[in-house]
Amino acid sequence: GEMAAAPRQLTVPVQIARIHDEVCASSEWGRRVAEVAAFNKAHRWRKRGLGLMGLRFPRPLFASNAVINVHVDGTVLLHHEGVEMGQGLHVKVIQVACDTLGTRLFGYPLPASLVRSADFATEFMPNPWLTAASSTSERMCFAMQDAANRMAEKLMPFVNQESADGQVAERWKEVILAANGAKVNLQQQGEWRPSSGNVIDFYDTYGGTVAEVEIDVLTGEHSVRAFHMSYDCGKSINPLVDIGQAEGAAIMGQGFCTSEQVTWDATGRLINDGTWMYKPPLAPDMPTDFRVHLLDNSAFPGGFASSKATGEPPLLGSVSIFLAIQQAIRSARSDAGEEGFFTLSTPATCAKIQQSCGTKIEDMTVEAAKRGE
């Protein structure tokens, strides 16, 4: 198989070629190339650019543990080693617990209203691995599934097969009452360990993006006219969460590539320590045409329920915005008579864009503007 620079054999199938074709088709790459060229030929002081890139992000998987506590009223409290920080971790582990317990016992998932996930605390889950690298949701789902399967085994003898027409919630509560009356331990630990026997397992996620931007040559302002992403999430267990993660990562990456400049003075004091000077993306900065698509028919056997992680990996796709800005600047420089190599570092702020375009002081006149447009 193909090898990474690490070196490590890449996760197969390597989806980059397929993703490239899909994102080019969805963004109508050929049409955009022609339109951008025509626009740049017709305009001196506004320029457009396109960026296209693929991404590969290696995912580490560490050992993980989880605990299920079932109360006599039928409610379920989940504990795990992950920290919920907005990534949808609790949503996914609740989903796994509901599906595993309910399906094993009754053929249908438990209602999510019965299940709650507690925030992480070391008095319940000591010695955890880190919550990082976008793999925590996946690891906790593995461990929670193990705990739920073990709990279902305990409860199976108390399922009344003759009451199959009853609602799942009612049947669940009957089972719990019976099990509690029989002094069954309604707490269950679950765990997951890397299948390789190593401390860490790795696999790769893949993606691709197309971006179109427009810059103002005189001021350096820019707008993202379009951003299309195709991302290999395997078989997503919750597409709404995963698409939201990909969208959020893309915007974080956009800020890194375009606006979030960190500046210190000669003494090392941070100058832009607030949003008056430090500029994360806001609502007006969102791409006008913003699309994220999870790759179809890409189930990954090595992932939880054939899925792959989201979170950090899609952030890399925002580099296509930076590449598009570079192309737009290159067109402006050509009109200014400046050809050849130029340097543009991230983030591509207004000042950097304006200064890279080869704009001269004599261009800052009404007459020059009229000639250019």
CA distances from 127 to 117, 122, 137 (A): 19, 7, 17
Residue of 312, 338, 362, 367 marked active site: 312
Q: Single out the residue of 4, 186, 39, 19 nearest to residue 101, CA to CA.
A: 186
Helices then strands, counting H and E runs in the chain, come out as 9, 8
57 and 34 Cβ atoms separated by less than 8 Å: no
Q: At residue 149, what is the residue type?
A: N
Please indicate whether residue 312 is annotated as part of the active site: yes
CA distances from 22 to 33, 54, 163, 183 (A): 16, 11, 49, 56
Q: What angle do CA 340, 222, 312 make, to 5 degrees?
A: 95
Q: At residue 335, what is the residue type?
A: D
Please report the DSSP string for 26-47 in residue order: HTTHHHHHHHHHHHHHH-SSEE
Return the DSSP state at 124.
Answer: T
Query: Going edge to edge, which strands form the sheet with 64-70?
Result: 115-117, 76-80, 64-70, 187-192
Q: Single out the residue of 293, 311, 304, 351 nearest to residue 24, CA to CA.
A: 293
Q: At residue 166, what is the residue type?
A: G
The distance from CA 236 to its chain's CA centroid, rounded to whole angstroms, is: 12
Q: Return the active site residues.
A: 312
